[in-house]
A and B are shown apart, each in its own frame.
Chain A
Amino acid sequence: MTSIRRIQAVFIKDYRDFLKNAYMLSTGVIPLFFAFIFNQGEGVQSEAAFMPIVLSMVMVGSFIQAGVIAEEKEKNTLRGLLLSPLNTAEIFIGKSLLSAVLSVIMIAAVIFIGEIPMPDQIFLVAAAILISLVIFISIGTILGLISRTVMETSVIGIPVLFIFGVGDIFQTMIESERVIQVMGYLPDQQFGHLLMQLREGQSVGEPFLVLSLWAVVSIIVTIFIFKKRRFD
Protein backbone atom coordinates (compact mmCIF):
# COMPACT_ATOMS: atom_id res chain seq x y z
CA MET A 1 0.00 0.00 0.00
CA THR A 2 1.45 3.28 -1.09
CA SER A 3 1.08 5.97 1.53
CA ILE A 4 0.73 9.65 0.62
CA ARG A 5 1.73 10.56 4.17
CA ARG A 6 5.11 8.86 3.87
CA ILE A 7 5.79 10.28 0.40
CA GLN A 8 4.90 13.74 1.66
CA ALA A 9 7.24 13.33 4.65
CA VAL A 10 10.17 12.57 2.35
CA PHE A 11 9.27 15.49 0.10
CA ILE A 12 9.05 17.96 2.98
CA LYS A 13 12.39 16.76 4.32
CA ASP A 14 14.01 17.16 0.88
CA TYR A 15 12.49 20.61 0.47
CA ARG A 16 13.79 21.83 3.86
CA ASP A 17 17.19 20.40 3.10
CA PHE A 18 17.26 21.99 -0.36
CA LEU A 19 16.67 25.46 1.07
CA LYS A 20 19.84 25.10 3.13
CA ASN A 21 21.95 23.63 0.37
CA ALA A 22 23.94 26.26 -1.51
CA TYR A 23 25.24 23.83 -4.14
CA MET A 24 21.75 22.67 -5.10
CA LEU A 25 20.30 26.17 -5.02
CA SER A 26 22.94 27.48 -7.39
CA THR A 27 22.55 24.52 -9.74
CA GLY A 28 18.83 25.15 -9.75
CA VAL A 29 19.01 28.71 -11.07
CA ILE A 30 21.45 28.12 -13.95
CA PRO A 31 18.67 27.63 -16.54
CA LEU A 32 17.35 31.10 -15.74
CA PHE A 33 20.57 32.66 -17.00
CA PHE A 34 20.35 30.65 -20.16
CA ALA A 35 16.79 31.76 -20.66
CA PHE A 36 17.99 35.35 -20.43
CA ILE A 37 20.83 34.81 -22.85
CA PHE A 38 18.70 32.86 -25.31
CA ASN A 39 15.86 35.30 -25.31
CA GLN A 40 15.88 36.62 -28.84
CA GLY A 41 12.32 37.81 -28.91
CA GLU A 42 10.29 36.56 -31.81
CA GLY A 43 13.48 35.85 -33.72
CA VAL A 44 14.05 32.15 -33.05
CA GLN A 45 11.63 29.97 -34.91
CA SER A 46 13.66 26.75 -34.85
CA GLU A 47 13.66 24.01 -32.22
CA ALA A 48 16.59 25.76 -30.56
CA ALA A 49 14.01 28.09 -29.04
CA PHE A 50 13.02 25.27 -26.69
CA MET A 51 16.56 24.68 -25.50
CA PRO A 52 16.14 26.50 -22.16
CA ILE A 53 13.24 24.16 -21.33
CA VAL A 54 15.36 21.09 -21.97
CA LEU A 55 18.18 22.67 -20.01
CA SER A 56 15.83 23.16 -17.05
CA MET A 57 14.91 19.50 -17.19
CA VAL A 58 18.58 18.49 -17.29
CA MET A 59 19.85 20.88 -14.63
CA VAL A 60 16.96 20.51 -12.23
CA GLY A 61 15.40 17.20 -13.23
CA SER A 62 18.67 15.32 -13.69
CA PHE A 63 21.38 17.20 -11.80
CA ILE A 64 19.46 18.13 -8.68
CA GLN A 65 17.89 14.69 -8.63
CA ALA A 66 21.33 13.07 -8.94
CA GLY A 67 22.65 15.24 -6.11
CA VAL A 68 19.70 14.50 -3.86
CA ILE A 69 20.09 10.74 -4.36
CA ALA A 70 23.89 10.71 -4.16
CA GLU A 71 23.80 12.70 -0.94
CA GLU A 72 21.52 10.15 0.71
CA LYS A 73 24.14 7.55 -0.16
CA GLU A 74 27.16 9.68 0.70
CA LYS A 75 25.80 10.61 4.13
CA ASN A 76 24.48 7.10 4.83
CA THR A 77 20.91 8.25 5.22
CA LEU A 78 19.45 6.17 2.39
CA ARG A 79 19.87 3.10 4.56
CA GLY A 80 17.62 4.67 7.18
CA LEU A 81 14.90 5.16 4.58
CA LEU A 82 15.36 1.65 3.22
CA LEU A 83 15.04 0.17 6.69
CA SER A 84 11.90 2.19 7.42
CA PRO A 85 8.40 1.15 6.35
CA LEU A 86 8.85 3.01 3.04
CA ASN A 87 8.34 0.69 0.09
CA THR A 88 10.24 1.00 -3.18
CA ALA A 89 7.52 2.99 -4.93
CA GLU A 90 7.27 5.44 -2.04
CA ILE A 91 11.03 5.97 -2.00
CA PHE A 92 11.08 6.61 -5.76
CA ILE A 93 8.12 8.95 -5.79
CA GLY A 94 9.13 10.69 -2.57
CA LYS A 95 12.70 11.17 -3.69
CA SER A 96 11.67 12.46 -7.15
CA LEU A 97 9.01 14.89 -6.06
CA LEU A 98 11.31 17.77 -5.16
CA SER A 99 13.11 17.77 -8.50
CA ALA A 100 9.80 17.34 -10.31
CA VAL A 101 8.20 20.32 -8.60
CA LEU A 102 11.33 22.45 -8.99
CA SER A 103 11.56 21.50 -12.67
CA VAL A 104 7.99 22.53 -13.35
CA ILE A 105 8.53 25.87 -11.61
CA MET A 106 11.77 26.40 -13.48
CA ILE A 107 10.23 25.50 -16.85
CA ALA A 108 7.43 27.99 -16.26
CA ALA A 109 9.97 30.65 -15.28
CA VAL A 110 12.14 29.91 -18.28
CA ILE A 111 9.22 30.11 -20.71
CA PHE A 112 8.22 33.42 -19.17
CA ILE A 113 11.67 34.99 -18.98
CA GLY A 114 12.86 33.60 -22.30
CA GLU A 115 9.57 34.56 -23.98
CA ILE A 116 9.61 31.14 -25.60
CA PRO A 117 6.94 30.85 -28.29
CA MET A 118 4.92 27.83 -27.05
CA PRO A 119 2.30 25.87 -28.99
CA ASP A 120 -1.32 26.53 -27.97
CA GLN A 121 -2.24 22.91 -27.16
CA ILE A 122 -1.66 23.23 -23.46
CA PHE A 123 -2.57 19.66 -22.47
CA LEU A 124 -0.34 18.07 -25.07
CA VAL A 125 2.50 20.37 -24.07
CA ALA A 126 1.97 19.48 -20.40
CA ALA A 127 1.95 15.76 -21.28
CA ALA A 128 5.17 16.12 -23.26
CA ILE A 129 6.82 17.95 -20.37
CA LEU A 130 5.67 15.34 -17.85
CA ILE A 131 6.88 12.40 -19.91
CA SER A 132 10.20 14.12 -20.49
CA LEU A 133 10.50 14.86 -16.78
CA VAL A 134 10.08 11.17 -16.03
CA ILE A 135 12.98 10.47 -18.38
CA PHE A 136 15.29 13.18 -17.05
CA ILE A 137 14.53 12.47 -13.40
CA SER A 138 15.17 8.76 -14.00
CA ILE A 139 18.49 9.63 -15.61
CA GLY A 140 19.26 11.78 -12.57
CA THR A 141 18.34 8.94 -10.22
CA ILE A 142 20.63 6.57 -12.11
CA LEU A 143 23.47 9.11 -11.96
CA GLY A 144 22.91 9.51 -8.23
CA LEU A 145 22.88 5.77 -7.65
CA ILE A 146 26.11 5.10 -9.52
CA SER A 147 27.98 8.04 -7.94
CA ARG A 148 29.44 7.70 -4.51
CA THR A 149 29.40 11.40 -3.71
CA VAL A 150 27.51 14.52 -4.72
CA MET A 151 30.63 15.90 -6.38
CA GLU A 152 30.94 12.77 -8.47
CA THR A 153 27.50 13.37 -9.93
CA SER A 154 28.64 16.60 -11.52
CA VAL A 155 31.62 14.82 -13.06
CA ILE A 156 29.61 11.89 -14.42
CA GLY A 157 26.81 14.30 -15.22
CA ILE A 158 28.72 16.52 -17.67
CA PRO A 159 28.62 14.05 -20.59
CA VAL A 160 24.96 13.48 -19.85
CA LEU A 161 24.35 17.19 -20.00
CA PHE A 162 26.06 17.38 -23.38
CA ILE A 163 24.38 14.37 -24.91
CA PHE A 164 20.88 14.85 -23.58
CA GLY A 165 20.78 18.58 -23.01
CA VAL A 166 22.60 20.40 -25.75
CA GLY A 167 23.04 17.70 -28.35
CA ASP A 168 22.05 20.06 -31.17
CA ILE A 169 25.18 22.14 -30.64
CA PHE A 170 27.25 19.08 -31.46
CA GLN A 171 25.29 18.18 -34.50
CA THR A 172 27.07 20.78 -36.58
CA MET A 173 30.38 19.16 -35.66
CA ILE A 174 29.37 15.62 -36.48
CA GLU A 175 30.12 14.34 -39.97
CA SER A 176 28.35 11.02 -39.98
CA GLU A 177 24.74 11.10 -41.10
CA ARG A 178 24.08 7.89 -39.18
CA VAL A 179 25.12 9.41 -35.87
CA ILE A 180 23.01 12.49 -36.48
CA GLN A 181 20.07 10.27 -37.31
CA VAL A 182 20.49 8.24 -34.13
CA MET A 183 20.90 11.39 -32.07
CA GLY A 184 17.61 12.55 -33.44
CA TYR A 185 15.97 9.93 -31.27
CA LEU A 186 17.41 11.30 -28.04
CA PRO A 187 14.73 12.63 -25.70
CA ASP A 188 15.81 16.28 -25.94
CA GLN A 189 15.57 16.16 -29.74
CA GLN A 190 12.25 14.37 -29.68
CA PHE A 191 10.92 16.91 -27.20
CA GLY A 192 11.99 19.70 -29.55
CA HIS A 193 10.42 17.98 -32.60
CA LEU A 194 7.26 17.45 -30.65
CA LEU A 195 6.80 21.08 -29.68
CA MET A 196 7.79 22.26 -33.15
CA GLN A 197 5.38 19.91 -34.88
CA LEU A 198 2.63 20.95 -32.48
CA ARG A 199 3.25 24.56 -33.32
CA GLU A 200 3.10 23.84 -37.02
CA GLY A 201 -0.05 21.79 -36.67
CA GLN A 202 1.56 18.48 -37.67
CA SER A 203 0.79 15.13 -36.02
CA VAL A 204 2.87 14.33 -32.95
CA GLY A 205 2.25 10.58 -32.59
CA GLU A 206 5.80 9.56 -33.33
CA PRO A 207 7.66 11.84 -30.92
CA PHE A 208 5.13 10.97 -28.21
CA LEU A 209 5.72 7.27 -28.81
CA VAL A 210 9.50 7.65 -28.77
CA LEU A 211 9.40 9.73 -25.58
CA SER A 212 7.10 7.20 -23.91
CA LEU A 213 9.48 4.41 -24.81
CA TRP A 214 12.34 6.37 -23.30
CA ALA A 215 10.29 6.88 -20.15
CA VAL A 216 9.47 3.19 -19.76
CA VAL A 217 13.02 2.05 -20.44
CA SER A 218 14.54 4.62 -18.09
CA ILE A 219 12.18 3.61 -15.27
CA ILE A 220 13.07 -0.06 -15.74
CA VAL A 221 16.80 0.68 -15.76
CA THR A 222 16.44 2.88 -12.67
CA ILE A 223 14.65 0.16 -10.72
CA PHE A 224 17.19 -2.42 -11.84
CA ILE A 225 20.14 -0.29 -10.71
CA PHE A 226 18.35 0.64 -7.50
CA LYS A 227 17.85 -3.00 -6.55
CA LYS A 228 21.52 -3.65 -7.21
CA ARG A 229 23.09 -0.61 -5.59
CA ARG A 230 20.79 0.58 -2.84
CA PHE A 231 22.65 -0.98 0.09
CA ASP A 232 26.17 -0.30 -1.18
Chain B
Amino acid sequence: MMKEIIEVSNVYKDFDGKRALDDLSFSIQTGETFGFLGPSGSGKTTTIKLLTAQEGYQSGSIQVFGKPAEDLKNPKQMKRIGVLTDNTGLYERLTVNANLKLFCKLYGVSYKRIGEVLDEVGLKGEESKVVSKLSKGMRQRVTLARTILHKPELLFLDEPTSALDPVSTERIHRILRTLNEEGTTVFLTTHDMYEAERICDRVAFLNKGTIQLQGPPRELRVRHSDSSITLLLKDGREQLVGNDHAGAERIQEVIAHQQLASVHSNEPTLGDIFARVTGKELL
Protein backbone atom coordinates (compact mmCIF):
# COMPACT_ATOMS: atom_id res chain seq x y z
CA MET B 1 0.00 0.00 0.00
CA MET B 2 1.96 3.00 -1.24
CA LYS B 3 0.14 6.24 -1.29
CA GLU B 4 1.14 9.85 -0.98
CA ILE B 5 0.99 11.17 2.56
CA ILE B 6 2.56 14.50 1.61
CA GLU B 7 2.33 16.15 -1.76
CA VAL B 8 3.97 19.49 -2.45
CA SER B 9 3.61 21.12 -5.85
CA ASN B 10 5.21 24.30 -7.11
CA VAL B 11 5.35 26.08 -3.79
CA TYR B 12 6.79 29.58 -3.53
CA LYS B 13 7.45 31.22 -0.20
CA ASP B 14 8.81 34.73 0.33
CA PHE B 15 9.80 36.43 3.57
CA ASP B 16 9.54 40.19 3.12
CA GLY B 17 10.29 39.91 -0.57
CA LYS B 18 13.16 37.49 -0.05
CA ARG B 19 12.58 34.08 -1.60
CA ALA B 20 12.90 31.16 0.81
CA LEU B 21 11.24 28.40 -1.22
CA ASP B 22 11.44 28.51 -4.96
CA ASP B 23 9.11 26.26 -6.95
CA LEU B 24 9.37 23.43 -4.43
CA SER B 25 7.81 20.12 -5.46
CA PHE B 26 8.11 16.66 -3.94
CA SER B 27 6.00 13.91 -2.50
CA ILE B 28 6.37 11.42 0.32
CA GLN B 29 4.83 7.96 0.44
CA THR B 30 3.14 6.53 3.49
CA GLY B 31 5.63 4.51 5.50
CA GLU B 32 8.75 6.19 4.18
CA THR B 33 11.58 7.86 6.03
CA PHE B 34 12.29 10.88 3.88
CA GLY B 35 15.32 13.08 4.43
CA PHE B 36 15.61 16.71 3.47
CA LEU B 37 19.28 17.46 3.09
CA GLY B 38 20.53 20.98 2.68
CA PRO B 39 22.96 23.59 3.93
CA SER B 40 22.04 26.29 6.43
CA GLY B 41 19.48 28.71 5.02
CA SER B 42 18.36 26.40 2.22
CA GLY B 43 14.77 26.33 3.50
CA LYS B 44 14.50 23.11 5.52
CA THR B 45 12.83 24.62 8.58
CA THR B 46 10.62 26.76 6.38
CA THR B 47 9.43 23.65 4.56
CA ILE B 48 8.48 21.98 7.86
CA LYS B 49 6.64 25.12 8.96
CA LEU B 50 4.63 25.13 5.76
CA LEU B 51 3.90 21.41 5.92
CA THR B 52 2.62 21.75 9.49
CA ALA B 53 0.52 24.86 8.79
CA GLN B 54 2.63 27.14 10.97
CA GLU B 55 3.24 29.44 8.03
CA GLY B 56 1.33 30.35 4.92
CA TYR B 57 2.86 30.58 1.45
CA GLN B 58 2.49 32.67 -1.69
CA SER B 59 1.55 30.08 -4.27
CA GLY B 60 1.46 26.39 -5.05
CA SER B 61 -0.23 23.62 -3.14
CA ILE B 62 0.57 21.45 -0.14
CA GLN B 63 -1.46 18.36 0.66
CA VAL B 64 -1.01 16.40 3.86
CA PHE B 65 -3.10 13.25 4.34
CA GLY B 66 -4.72 14.11 1.02
CA LYS B 67 -6.04 17.42 2.35
CA PRO B 68 -4.70 20.98 2.27
CA ALA B 69 -2.04 21.53 4.97
CA GLU B 70 -4.29 24.24 6.43
CA ASP B 71 -6.57 21.45 7.69
CA LEU B 72 -3.93 20.57 10.28
CA LYS B 73 -5.17 23.56 12.24
CA ASN B 74 -8.13 21.38 13.05
CA PRO B 75 -7.22 19.64 16.34
CA LYS B 76 -8.44 16.28 15.02
CA GLN B 77 -5.97 16.42 12.14
CA MET B 78 -3.29 17.88 14.40
CA LYS B 79 -3.41 14.68 16.46
CA ARG B 80 -2.22 12.70 13.47
CA ILE B 81 1.15 14.46 13.33
CA GLY B 82 4.08 14.92 15.68
CA VAL B 83 6.46 17.84 15.27
CA LEU B 84 9.91 18.21 16.75
CA THR B 85 11.47 21.47 15.63
CA ASP B 86 15.11 22.42 15.99
CA ASN B 87 14.20 24.36 19.12
CA THR B 88 11.30 22.51 20.69
CA GLY B 89 11.38 23.34 24.38
CA LEU B 90 10.49 21.50 27.56
CA TYR B 91 9.35 23.00 30.86
CA GLU B 92 12.72 23.04 32.55
CA ARG B 93 11.62 23.52 36.15
CA LEU B 94 9.27 20.56 35.92
CA THR B 95 10.05 16.86 35.99
CA VAL B 96 10.08 14.62 32.94
CA ASN B 97 6.87 13.12 34.26
CA ALA B 98 5.09 16.47 34.68
CA ASN B 99 6.10 17.49 31.16
CA LEU B 100 4.73 14.29 29.68
CA LYS B 101 1.58 14.33 31.81
CA LEU B 102 0.64 17.73 30.40
CA PHE B 103 0.78 16.36 26.87
CA CYS B 104 -1.06 13.18 27.83
CA LYS B 105 -3.93 15.41 28.94
CA LEU B 106 -3.72 17.63 25.88
CA TYR B 107 -3.83 14.65 23.53
CA GLY B 108 -6.28 12.63 25.61
CA VAL B 109 -3.78 9.82 26.10
CA SER B 110 -3.59 7.60 29.20
CA TYR B 111 -0.70 8.20 31.64
CA LYS B 112 0.28 4.58 30.95
CA ARG B 113 1.84 5.82 27.71
CA ILE B 114 4.49 7.72 29.71
CA GLY B 115 6.16 4.49 30.81
CA GLU B 116 5.94 3.10 27.29
CA VAL B 117 7.50 6.08 25.51
CA LEU B 118 10.22 6.50 28.12
CA ASP B 119 11.04 2.86 27.59
CA GLU B 120 11.14 3.42 23.84
CA VAL B 121 13.62 6.28 24.14
CA GLY B 122 15.68 4.49 26.77
CA LEU B 123 14.81 6.75 29.70
CA LYS B 124 12.84 4.39 31.88
CA GLY B 125 13.32 5.27 35.53
CA GLU B 126 14.20 8.90 34.83
CA GLU B 127 10.65 10.23 35.05
CA SER B 128 11.09 12.03 38.35
CA LYS B 129 14.18 13.96 37.20
CA VAL B 130 13.82 17.70 36.72
CA VAL B 131 14.39 18.56 33.06
CA SER B 132 16.99 21.26 33.76
CA LYS B 133 19.19 18.57 35.32
CA LEU B 134 19.24 16.38 32.20
CA SER B 135 22.00 16.20 29.60
CA LYS B 136 21.39 17.55 26.11
CA GLY B 137 20.99 14.08 24.62
CA MET B 138 18.55 13.03 27.34
CA ARG B 139 16.53 16.19 26.86
CA GLN B 140 16.27 15.55 23.16
CA ARG B 141 15.02 12.05 23.90
CA VAL B 142 12.43 13.42 26.32
CA THR B 143 11.33 15.81 23.59
CA LEU B 144 11.10 12.93 21.17
CA ALA B 145 9.13 10.92 23.75
CA ARG B 146 6.73 13.84 24.07
CA THR B 147 6.41 14.06 20.30
CA ILE B 148 5.46 10.40 19.90
CA LEU B 149 3.24 10.22 23.00
CA HIS B 150 0.06 10.20 20.91
CA LYS B 151 1.42 7.76 18.29
CA PRO B 152 1.39 10.15 15.34
CA GLU B 153 1.13 8.65 11.87
CA LEU B 154 3.43 11.28 10.48
CA LEU B 155 6.47 12.64 12.27
CA PHE B 156 8.28 15.87 11.36
CA LEU B 157 11.77 16.21 12.77
CA ASP B 158 13.88 19.30 12.21
CA GLU B 159 17.54 18.36 12.66
CA PRO B 160 16.78 15.92 15.46
CA THR B 161 20.41 15.09 16.18
CA SER B 162 22.25 18.33 15.48
CA ALA B 163 24.64 19.17 18.31
CA LEU B 164 24.24 15.74 19.89
CA ASP B 165 27.13 13.42 20.70
CA PRO B 166 27.56 10.25 18.57
CA VAL B 167 26.08 7.94 21.21
CA SER B 168 22.92 10.04 21.59
CA THR B 169 22.69 10.37 17.82
CA GLU B 170 22.92 6.61 17.40
CA ARG B 171 20.18 6.16 20.02
CA ILE B 172 17.87 8.57 18.23
CA HIS B 173 18.52 6.80 14.93
CA ARG B 174 17.57 3.47 16.47
CA ILE B 175 14.37 4.95 17.88
CA LEU B 176 13.47 6.43 14.51
CA ARG B 177 14.08 3.17 12.71
CA THR B 178 11.87 1.32 15.18
CA LEU B 179 9.11 3.89 14.84
CA ASN B 180 9.35 3.63 11.08
CA GLU B 181 9.15 -0.16 11.20
CA GLU B 182 6.01 0.21 13.27
CA GLY B 183 4.47 2.23 10.47
CA THR B 184 5.26 5.88 11.25
CA THR B 185 6.10 8.00 8.24
CA VAL B 186 9.10 10.19 9.02
CA PHE B 187 10.05 13.48 7.43
CA LEU B 188 13.36 14.71 8.70
CA THR B 189 15.73 17.50 7.85
CA THR B 190 19.43 17.31 8.38
CA HIS B 191 22.68 18.64 7.14
CA ASP B 192 24.39 15.45 8.19
CA MET B 193 24.85 13.26 5.13
CA TYR B 194 25.67 10.18 7.19
CA GLU B 195 22.40 10.55 9.02
CA ALA B 196 20.55 10.81 5.73
CA GLU B 197 22.34 7.79 4.38
CA ARG B 198 21.79 5.65 7.45
CA ILE B 199 18.12 6.13 8.16
CA CYS B 200 16.43 7.54 5.07
CA ASP B 201 14.69 5.50 2.40
CA ARG B 202 14.81 8.52 0.16
CA VAL B 203 16.56 11.88 0.32
CA ALA B 204 16.13 15.19 -1.44
CA PHE B 205 18.87 17.77 -1.86
CA LEU B 206 17.60 21.21 -1.07
CA ASN B 207 19.54 24.21 -2.25
CA LYS B 208 18.31 27.82 -2.22
CA GLY B 209 14.74 26.72 -1.67
CA THR B 210 14.53 24.25 -4.48
CA ILE B 211 15.14 20.51 -4.83
CA GLN B 212 18.12 19.70 -6.98
CA LEU B 213 18.14 15.95 -6.78
CA GLN B 214 16.22 13.20 -5.06
CA GLY B 215 16.15 9.44 -4.74
CA PRO B 216 17.20 6.56 -2.49
CA PRO B 217 20.73 7.22 -1.13
CA ARG B 218 22.11 3.99 -2.56
CA GLU B 219 20.70 4.68 -6.02
CA LEU B 220 22.04 8.25 -6.01
CA ARG B 221 25.49 6.99 -5.17
CA VAL B 222 25.46 4.38 -7.89
CA ARG B 223 24.10 6.86 -10.41
CA HIS B 224 26.84 9.37 -9.60
CA SER B 225 29.60 6.87 -9.36
CA ASP B 226 32.29 7.06 -12.01
CA SER B 227 32.54 3.25 -11.73
CA SER B 228 36.22 3.32 -10.96
CA ILE B 229 37.73 0.87 -8.51
CA THR B 230 40.57 1.43 -6.11
CA LEU B 231 42.95 -1.42 -5.39
CA LEU B 232 44.86 -1.31 -2.16
CA LEU B 233 48.11 -3.25 -2.48
CA LYS B 234 49.95 -5.03 0.26
CA ASP B 235 52.87 -2.63 0.02
CA GLY B 236 50.46 0.20 0.86
CA ARG B 237 50.17 1.63 -2.62
CA GLU B 238 46.79 2.46 -4.16
CA GLN B 239 45.84 1.87 -7.77
CA LEU B 240 42.87 3.27 -9.60
CA VAL B 241 41.42 1.01 -12.30
CA GLY B 242 38.42 1.33 -14.59
CA ASN B 243 35.34 -0.87 -14.36
CA ASP B 244 36.16 -2.40 -17.74
CA HIS B 245 38.16 -5.11 -19.49
CA ALA B 246 41.52 -3.44 -18.81
CA GLY B 247 40.58 -3.01 -15.17
CA ALA B 248 39.64 -6.67 -14.87
CA GLU B 249 42.98 -7.72 -16.31
CA ARG B 250 44.83 -5.50 -13.90
CA ILE B 251 42.94 -6.94 -10.94
CA GLN B 252 43.70 -10.45 -12.12
CA GLU B 253 47.35 -9.59 -12.43
CA VAL B 254 47.56 -8.13 -8.96
CA ILE B 255 45.85 -11.16 -7.47
CA ALA B 256 48.15 -13.48 -9.38
CA HIS B 257 51.17 -11.72 -7.89
CA GLN B 258 49.58 -11.95 -4.44
CA GLN B 259 49.82 -8.17 -4.08
CA LEU B 260 46.18 -7.42 -3.39
CA ALA B 261 45.14 -6.25 0.08
CA SER B 262 41.61 -5.00 -0.68
CA VAL B 263 39.25 -3.73 -3.39
CA HIS B 264 37.13 -0.58 -3.00
CA SER B 265 34.39 0.70 -5.25
CA ASN B 266 34.58 4.45 -5.58
CA GLU B 267 30.98 5.42 -4.92
CA PRO B 268 30.73 9.04 -3.93
CA THR B 269 29.25 9.98 -0.57
CA LEU B 270 26.02 11.98 -0.49
CA GLY B 271 28.18 14.95 0.50
CA ASP B 272 30.27 14.53 -2.64
CA ILE B 273 27.18 14.31 -4.79
CA PHE B 274 25.69 17.35 -3.12
CA ALA B 275 28.84 19.33 -3.76
CA ARG B 276 28.91 18.18 -7.36
CA VAL B 277 25.27 19.02 -8.04
CA THR B 278 25.10 22.34 -6.20
CA GLY B 279 28.70 23.45 -6.19
CA LYS B 280 28.36 23.85 -2.42
CA GLU B 281 29.48 22.06 0.69
CA LEU B 282 26.78 20.72 2.97
CA LEU B 283 27.96 22.30 6.19
Contact = CB atoms under 8 A, between A and B. Distances in A.
Nearest to B76: A85
B105 A16 contact: no
A17 B102 contact: no
B88, B93, B106 pick with most chain A CB within 10 angstroms: B106
Interface residues of A, number: 24
Interface string A176-216: 00000000000000000000000000000000000000000
A76 B87 CA distance: 6
B55, B85, B105 pick with most chain A CB within 10 angstroms: B105
A80 B89 contact: yes
A231 B88 CA distance: 12
A21 B108 CA distance: 28
A229 interface: no
Contact of B89 (A9, A13, A75): A75
B79 interface: yes
Contacts of A12: 102
Contacts of B76: 85
Nearest to A85: B75
Nearest to A8: B105
A85 B107 contact: yes
A228 interface: no
A122 interface: no
Nearest to A19: B93
B105 A75 contact: no
A84 B103 CA distance: 8
Contacts of A82: 54
A17 B55 contact: no
B: contact size bracket: 20 to 34
Contacts of B194: none
Contact of A21 (B52, B93, B102): B93
A9 B90 CA distance: 15
Contacts of B85: 76, 79
A10 B107 contact: no
B146 interface: yes
Nearest to B102: A13
A6 interface: yes
Interface string A11-25: 011001100110000
Contacts of B88: 76, 79-80
Contact of A17 (B79, B81, B94, B108): B94
B111 to A, nearest CB: 12
Contacts of B107: 84-85
Contact of B75 (A13, A75, A86): A86
B232 interface: no
A84 B85 CA distance: 13
Contact of A83 (B78, B91, B92, B105): B78
B106 A6 contact: yes
A2 to B, nearest CB: 11
Contacts of A171: none
Contacts of B78: 83-85
Interface of B: 49, 52, 54-55, 75-76, 78-79, 81, 83, 85, 87-94, 98, 101-103, 105-108, 146
25 contacts: A5-B105, A6-B105, A9-B102, A12-B102, A13-B91, A13-B98, A16-B94, A16-B98, A20-B94, A76-B85, A76-B88, A76-B89, A79-B85, A79-B89, A80-B89, A80-B146, A82-B54, A83-B52, A83-B78, A83-B83, A85-B78, A85-B106, A85-B107, A87-B75, A231-B55
| 9 closest Cβ pairs, A-B complex | A9-B105, A76-B89, A85-B75, A77-B89, A20-B93, A75-B89, A84-B106, A76-B87, A13-B102
Given A6-B106, A9-B101, A21-B93, 15 more contacts: A5-B105, A10-B106, A16-B98, A17-B94, A76-B88, A77-B89, A77-B90, A77-B91, A83-B81, A84-B107, A85-B76, A85-B106, A85-B107, A85-B108, A231-B54
Interface of A: 5-6, 8-10, 12-13, 16-17, 20-21, 75-77, 79-87, 231
